[in-house]
Structure 1
Amino acid sequence: MSKNTLTSIVPFRDEFKDQVVDLILHIQNVEAKVGISASDQPDILAIESCYLDEGGGFWVALNEDGQVVGTIGLQLAAPEVGVLKKFFVDAAFRGMQNGPAIQLYSALIGHARASSVRTIVLDTPAVATRSHAFYKKAGFTQVDKIALPIHYDYPDRNSLLFRLDLD
């Protein structure tokens, strides 16, 4: 795929499920070598009930051929607290000036603000240093588990935790 291939951001639809699962598992296990299965993260198999039905959101980035090249989700964990999850972008589309990562993140932030979310938290593997840089540039602060405004389950992969307080 060319880095110049245009993408569009659309809300998740069930027709994207297999591509979403394949993209996430590939990045987690082939690229990052985290060793996590779909059964370890059942939310990717039940996006509608885990994200959409509770007022959160899940978006996909599509290339010009309609193939999924990125994902991002927001789960509402409390009335004003969201959890950013499943933020993945195909390697061919990373690092683009206004590429799918920025577009996906903008969709999530727009939805969070419209939903009165005041704080967004996330976990990410310690080995995902490129992700850490993205989150810090976007205003997230790395925090200890005790600084999270909620408790939520995440597969402990030597994870780092981040928090963003929206204005």
Structure 2
Amino acid sequence: MLEISPVNNTHSKSIIDLVLNIQQKEFNVPITIDDQPDLMQIEDFYFANGGSFWGAFIDGELVGTIALVKFDEKAAAIRKMFVKKEFRGKEHNIAQKLLEILISYCHENGIDEVYLGTVSILKAALRFYERNHFTIIDKELLPAKFPVMNADNVFCFLDLKSSL
């Protein structure tokens, strides 16, 4: 049974384990916990400015995450969208459910523009975002306040005003 709920600093260890495992072991992305201090300061980094962080749990096990960093009055960035390998795909539909919760949160909180950065080797992730009406944009088109991660080399945008 899938349960999705907001997570906070008490979940940091399981979030770090999930995220680093996927980044480093599965996709060989050269990133460490030192590059992602936000994972140890979830409340300050995500919630304090009007964003959020959700975890997907099956039988109490963290199997997926998605986070939203609000960086402007009406704009936010998706971060930490990860689903454990054995729980990916249409059968569980966890990524889709996480994204829908995040988009609902945006609508409820007056966020009209959603951006994200990812890495080009995550082909399935890019297809997923494109299926969900994100468009790939040049880095130069990102808002000045967008929090760029060093590893990211592909950027996407979703205009929630036009998708209502």
Note the C-alpha offset of 1:160.
0.2
Asked whether 1:70 is paired with 2:64, we answer yes
CA distance in 2: counterparts of 1:115 and 1:150, whole angstroms:
21
C-alpha separation in 2, matches of 1:143 and 1:52: 27
Does 91-100 or 18-27 show the bigger shift?
A: 91-100
Distance, in Å, in 2 between the alignment partners of 1:100 and 1:150 is 31
TM alignment of 1:1-167, pairs within 5 A: 6-64=1-59, 66-97=60-91, 99-157=93-151, 159-167=153-161
Offset at 1:97?
4.3
Counterparts of 1:15 and 1:158, CA distance in 2: 27
CA contact (8 A) 1:126 1:157 kept: no
Cα deviations by residue, 1:28-62 (Å, 9 ceiling, x for unpaired): 00001001011101111111000011110100000
SS of corresponding position for 1:111: helix
Q: TM-score, normalised by structure 2?
A: 0.93
Cα drift, residue 158 of structure 1: 5.5
C-alpha change, 1:158 and 1:148, in structure 2 (3 Å) is: closer
The one-letter code of the counterpart of 2:51 is G
1:151–1:13: structure 2 CA closer, same or farther, 3 Å change rule? closer
Number of matched pairs: 161
Uncovered stretches (5+) of structure 2, i.e. residues with no partner: none
Distance 1:97 1:24 in 2: 21
Question: Unmatched 5+ residue regions in structure 1?
Answer: 1-5
Aligned partners of 2:72 and 2:145 also within 8 Å = no
RMSD: 1.3
Structure 1: 4+ residue segments shifted above 6 A = none
Tell me the distance in 2 between the aligned counterparts of 1:158 and 1:53. 24
